[in-house]
Structure 1
Amino acid sequence: MKMSLRLTPVILLLLGGCTVGPDYQRPSMALPVHYKEARGWQQATPQDSASKGEWWAVYRDPQLDALLRQVSLSNQNVASYAALYRQALALAAQSRAGLFPSVSYDASTTRSSSHSNGQRSTGNAHQAELSASWELDLWGKQRRTLEENRASAEASAAELANMTLSAQSELAQDYFELRVMDEKIALYQRSVAAYERYLTVINNKYQAGSESRGTLAQAQMQLESARSTAQDYQWQRAQLEHAIAILLGKAPADFSLPVAKLNATMPAIPQTLPAGLLQRRPDIAEAERNVAAANAAIGVAVAGYYPDLSLSASGGVSASAIQNLFSLPNRVWSLGPSLSGTLLDFGATSAQVDQARATYDSKVATYRQTVLEALQEVEDELVELNTLQGEIAAQQRASDAAQESARVTRNQYEAGMIDYLDVATTENSSLSEQQSLLALQSTQWVASVELIAALGGGWHASPSE
């Protein structure tokens, strides 16, 4: 009894074991309290699990809302990453199962025949066996493996979220570009109609001898140039429509987006954007979880220095007749431990540990670089949007002035005060200024989506805010 009490702590130590390798600590990475372009520092802590809601709701566009809701359901790239995430979860579950004993069974029946000294003998053999084995996790190798696979599964979940956000962002950008393209096409269609009227008037004057051949050619050139640009925009619109179809997991032939006016609302950027919002970015969370997995892999490699201890037990019955199979004399059993390890590997285990540590250092650097690049993306989008506000306002004034100039020159031409060349010049300038305005507006819509994506899905802490 005393011997049993002395052995109890030893048994508990063997069962509980220890865990070799470093315990994980998130790499330090400072973030600014606010953004330079949004007019200090804090510790970065990934918060990709924070609820962000349907970030596209800020645009208040029912058509966009309906399209983006389909991305997570139908996009094939998202479906691929979702399958990889399920695979990572299964791998983690498999690692967890390795912490417990495994039990297996075997049952067989054979009939054999033999000849000896001219005599033939035939017999039956029946066997049933139940066995169990358990590799004791003395040094924490299996626990580190489970830790590694769980971190990898979490990284896979973040990768899935990142792919979903990326696909949604890309679709929203394509959608806004397509809607602005509709406005560009409409602008040129109006211009073509106006140029056709001019050409008719000038041709009548030419036939009457009151207008020159050069003026007629100028009007013809202006009309055909506008027609060419309008057709160029048509194929660009078609390609944007095809891109949206693919993002929705549909063949381009099975999807169409009718021409419509852009009725979305441009969201106002808050005066202050805390850098903490950046911590919700799934790519940052993925990079940080990869660091955690690499840290656990160091422990798995270090455990290679230590022996593995397994316990195995089996029991069964064996008999020549089934009716005697479970009788006491036919029972067999075995029980015993197994210790295995490496005595000499010429530095192979040490090299594996060095490799694991180098991989960890690489993942830490990748994590920090991901944070820095995310900061740059946000700053870039903020400065672009802040600049675009003034640029669009100035371009709007330039467009209005160009349209007024074109109106005045048209009236002067109709009154016979100037040549048509002046009209063509001011009309071209007006069309160019309006086209530039639409291009800036398209850039603004795209930049707003890119800012939301750069912040991990909006600038609110929760959908209710």
Structure 2
Amino acid sequence: MSMPSLRPWVLAAPLAAALAGCALKPPPTTDDLRKEVLQQGPMPEAFRAGGGVSTPVADHWLASFEEPALTTLVNEALAYNADLQVAAARVEQAAGYVKVASGGLLPSVGLAALGGDKSGGGGGLNGVFLNASLELDVWGRLRYESAASREQLAAAEADYAYARQSLAAMVAKSWFLAVEAGMQRAIAKDSLSSSEGLMRLADDRLRIGNGTALSSAQARASVNGYRDTLKQVELSREQALRALELLVGRYPGAEIAVADQLSRMPPPLPVGVPSEVLERRPDMVAAERRVAAAFNRVGEAKAAQLPKIRLTAGGSNVSSELIVLKDVSSPVWSLGANLIAPIYQGGALRAQVEIRSAEQKQAVAEYARAGQKAFSEVETALGTESILREREAVLTAAIRDNEEALRLARIQYQVGTADLRTVEQSQLALYAARTSRLRVQSEQLAQRANLYLALGGGV
């Protein structure tokens, strides 16, 4: 059968409307968003805290610590960490939503078949029905939906990249903490050994008649205090090892091997300029993409208030052994178009536009908040690193002075010109200075990892 004749104007109107469809409006530019980050003043040309080099930030920061075992653990964490696998699954979900949204721009085709015999439920009818339809995206509703899904995918990918960087920094900081805990244990053991020596000396003085029972009891109490301190440090070390094992996906048995000494502090880090932080950090990229997605959702909601134009086509081939099909030649084809315009839905469509507009405002505000947080993290890491460097020098001098004070106090106690309390106070001051310097050295390395993360440096 030849296809029934169609008047040219039947399809001319919708096709012309489709060809003249509305172009999508672009989302806010990066420059527009940057104005939201610092509304009260311009962005500085350099970081105020100083301490870095104003050259472009380099990637592969993990190698700067010169710890191959740490690099191995980071790679292990990137492969097995459960939280990172969750972030990867979100990327896969977002990719699926892109395919779903893009499907609306393509034709929809359906096929139905009917068969039966004289006594069956089909009444002897046999046939095939083929239907196809395509919505003409005149107002851009489908394109806005597809664009929003693509932006959401880009945001999920950036979130995943930031999750990888955050995990690497967390493993590095946990490594430093575990190494520090081992070194703190060594200091506690040294202090306990020194205290035990004082206890033996006090007992010897008491035995020969130069000491007192009070001094001997004080010495034993001091030994027990250092033993308790050692147990606390050992517990902290086990907890640090378990935390590191969990990050890399292992069973938390406190059996992971770490270095005996902290890494050397890397040289000053290239920090670039503040404006580069908004471009480099994956979380900032994700926030910008969410703004774009929210903008497209507004366009989608506005377009949903306008009429929908859909082209339809169908074909069928039906036969029957019981019924004579008159005036119909098989197969039969049809082609047409329909228009559906929303007239009244209780204000739901307008409310949807308002909701999407509010979501866009929220996304812009979250971008500004993320930008301010990024600047704060960089400035804090730079400022803290500078102060820690100064503290390390002060504590090194304090250790030297306390070691000399302890040496002199022990001599005076042995010759009877000083009491045991003076020696114990000198020993306690030395222990405090050693543990504080070690804490500062570990924190310096942790702050360097924080700085790498804050600047958006890649592993």
TM-score of the superposition, structure 1-length normalised?
0.86
2:75 is the alignment partner of 1:72: no
Q: Does 1:54 align with 2:57?
A: no
Q: Take 1:236 and 1:196, find their aligned partners in 2: how far apart are those partners?
A: 23
Q: Which residue is 1:33 aligned to? A: 45
Contact kept in structure 2, 1:71 and 1:164, CA below 8 Å: no
Aligned to 2:215: 215
**Residue matched to 2:102:** 96
SS for the counterpart of 2:113 is strand
Q: 1:401 to 1:256 in 2, by over 3 A?
A: same
* Cα distance between partner residues in 1 of 2:258 and 2:97: 48
Between the aligned partners of 1:277 and 1:213, the Cα distance in structure 2 is 68
Alignment size in residue pairs: 435
Deviation at 1:212, TM superposition (A): 0.6
Q: How far has the Cα of 1:334 moved from its partner?
A: 2.7
CA offset digits 1:85-118 (Å, max 9, x no partner): 111011112212221112222223234639xxxx
Q: Which amino acid aligns with 2:440?
A: L
Bigger drift between 306-315 and 122-131 goes to: 122-131
State the secondary structure of the residue aligned to 2:225: helix
Aligned amino acid, residue 108 of structure 1: L
CA deviation string 1:12-33 (max 9, x = no partner): 5333342376421223315432
Equivalent residue for 1:43?
A: none
Contact 1:71 1:167 in 2 (8 A): yes
Paired with 1:389 and 1:447, the residues of 2 have a C-alpha distance of 11
Aligned to 2:22: 19
CA contact (8 A) 2:262 2:442 kept: no
Is residue 17–residue 139 contact of structure 1 (8 Å, CA) maintained in 2? Answer: no
Structure 1 residues 421 and 267, CA, compared in 2 at 3 Å: closer, same or farther? same
Equivalent position SS for 2:159? helix
Task: Read off the aligned partner of 2:76 and give its amino acid letter.
Answer: Q
In 1: Cα distance, 2:63 partner to 2:377 partner: 22
* 1:120-139 correspondence to structure 2 within 5 Å: 124-139=124-139
Partner of 2:173: helix, strand, or coil?
helix
Instruction: Give the equivalent residue in structure 2 for 1:188.
Output: 188
- Give 3-state SS (helix, strand or coil) of 1:38's partner: coil
Alignment-derived partner of residue 365 in structure 1: 365
Indicate the residue corresponding to 1:391 in structure 2: 391
- How many Å separate the matches in 2 of 1:216 and 1:71? 52
Report the residue type matching 2:101 in the other structure. S
Q: CA deviation at 1:252?
A: 0.6
SS of corresponding position for 2:333: strand
Q: How does 1:337-416 map to 2 (within 5 A)?
A: 337-416=337-416
Does the C-alpha gap of structure 1 residues 38 and 309 become closer, same or farther in structure 2, counting only changes over 3 Å?
Answer: same
Q: Distance in 2 between matches of 1:83 and 1:348?
A: 33
Q: What residue in structure 2 maps to residue 206 of structure 1? A: 206
Using the TM superposition, give the Cα deviation of residue 417 of structure 1 relative to its aligned residue in structure 2, in angstroms. Answer: 3.5
Paired with 1:316 and 1:122, the residues of 2 have a C-alpha distance of: 16
Query: Which residue number corresponds to residue 274 of structure 2?
Result: 275
The AA in structure 2 aligned to 1:371 is G
Alpha carbons of 1:186 and 1:245: their partners in 2 closer, same or farther (altered >3 Å)? same
Instruction: Return the alpha-carbon distance in structure 2 between the equivalents of residues 405 and 196 of structure 1.
Output: 19
Report which stretch shifted further, 30-39 or 391-400: 30-39
Q: 1:10 to 1:128 in 2, by over 3 A?
A: closer
Deviation at 1:266, TM superposition (A): 1.2
Q: Quick check: 1:306–1:341 contact (8 Å CA) kept in 2?
A: yes
* Percent identity of paired positions between Structure 1 and Structure 2: 27
Amino acid at match of 1:38: G
* SS of equivalent residue, structure 1 residue 260: coil
- Does structure 1 conserve the Cα–Cα contact (< 8 Å) formed by 2:242 and 2:252? yes
2:316–2:332: 8 Å Cα contact kept in structure 1?
yes
When structure 1 is superposed on structure 2, of 288-297 and 359-368 the one drifting more is 359-368
Runs of 4+ in structure 1 displaced over 6 angstroms? 6-9
User: Structure 1 residues 101, 123: CA separation in 2 closer, same or farther (over 3 Å shift)?
Assistant: closer
Q: Is the 8 A contact 2:14 2:309 kept in 1?
A: no
Q: TM-score, normalised by structure 2?
A: 0.87
Preserved CA contact (<8 Å) 1:399 1:434: yes
1:61 Cα deviation (Å)?
Answer: 0.8
Contact kept? 2:125, 2:320, Cα under 8 Å = yes
Q: SS where residue 386 of structure 1 aligns?
A: helix
Q: 3-state DSSP class of the match of 2:119?
A: strand
Give the structure 1 partner of residue 151 of structure 2.
Answer: 151
Post-superposition offset of 1:122: 9.5
Q: Report if the CA contact (8 A) 1:21-1:300 is conserved.
A: no
User: Would you say the 8 A contact 1:179–1:261 is kept in 2?
Assistant: yes
Alignment partner, residue 260 of structure 1: 259
Residue pair 2:402, 2:429 contacting (<8 A) in 1 also: yes
Q: Give the Cα–Cα distance (whole angstroms) in 2 for the partners of residues 157 and 333 of structure 1.
A: 46
Q: Deviations over 1:300-345 (max 9, x none)?
A: 0111221111111111212236xx9xxx943233322121121123
Q: Give the letter aligned to residue 244 of structure 1.
A: L
Q: Residue deviations 1:159-217, cap 9 Å, x none?
A: 11222222222221111111111111000111112222222232233233332111111
Counterparts of 1:294-373 in structure 2 under 5 Å? 294-320=294-320, 329-373=329-373
Q: 1:388 to 1:298 in 2, by over 3 A?
A: same
Contact in 1 for aligned 2:304/2:349 (Cα 8 Å): yes
Give the whole-Å Cα distance in 1 for the aligned partners of 2:420 and 2:96.
75
When the two chains are superposed, the root-mean-square deviation of aligned CA atoms in Å is: 2.7
Unaligned runs of 5+ in 1: 40-49, 115-120
Q: Write the deviation string for residues 345-377 of structure 1: whole angstroms up to 9, x where unpaired.
A: 343322222222222122111111211111111
Residue in 1 aligned with 2:38?
none
Aligned pair in 2 of structure 1 residues 149, 262: CA closer, same or farther (>3 Å)? same
How far the C-alpha of 1:430 sits from its partner, in A, is 0.9
User: CA contact under 8 A between 1:38 and 1:271: conserved in structure 2?
Assistant: no
Q: Distance in 2 between matches of 1:75 and 1:346?
A: 49
Cα distance in structure 2, aligned partners of 1:83 and 1:451? 28
SS in 2 for 1:161: helix
> Which stretch shifts more, 287-296 or 432-441?
432-441
Unpaired stretches in structure 2, ≥5 consecutive residues:
1-6, 36-42
